[in-house]
Amino acid sequence: MEPKAIFEAVKGKFGEAVVELQEEGFRPAFVVVSPESVREISLFLRDDPAMKFDSLMCLSGVDYKDRFAVAYHLHSLEIGHRIGVKAYLPREAPSLPSVDGVWPAANFQEREAFDLYGIVFTGSCDLRRILLPEDWVGHPLRKDYKYPEFYHGIKV
């Protein structure tokens, strides 16, 4: 199924929760959705017989300086098509629903985005730091992050 047809099917079902289709310069194309609708749209993309996006290839946090985004790269192993789903988040208190109940592989990747960007995935089965120690201050992939000089007395 082509990205435009996927976009139209999702837009037809979820209306205003589907913001736009980003095709130019993107591979795969991205369906931009409202953050609060991510889980519901993900369930549809996984369960609808015409979609069958059974594989979450990658979940990434992105810092655009003025806002954050979470990008999901999806693939249907059975049908063979691909699509991206993206949700933009505010810089202050970025949060959206977890999809670890839709694709279990999301948990590891959500934890990484939480750890490195501070994006909170509500309803996650295990949202905690995964790469940095629990007492680390801040989120190092944020563009405004200030690296500490020392950690527990050790020069960083």
Q: Which pLDDT score is estimated for 26?
A: 80
How many domains is the chain built from? 1
Q: What's the pLDDT tens digit per position in 69-94?
A: 999 999 999 999 999 999 999 999 99
Provide the pLDDT confidence category of residue 27 given band limits of 50, 70 and 90: confident
Report the CATH number at residue 125.
Answer: 3.30.460.80
* Segment 49-55 long-range contacts (CB within 8 Å, at least 24 positions apart): 50/1, 50/9, 51/1, 51/6, 51/9, 51/76, 51/79, 52/76, 52/78, 52/79, 53/83, 54/78, 55/103
Residue 156 has pLDDT above 90, yes or no: no
Mean pLDDT of 37-49: 98
Name the 3-class secondary structure at 47: helix
Residue 132 has pLDDT above 90, yes or no: yes
Residue with tokens 């950690």: 151
Of the chain, the percentage scoring pLDDT greater than 90 comes to 96
Residue 28 tokens, joined: 């795969």
Domain span including residue 100: 3-155
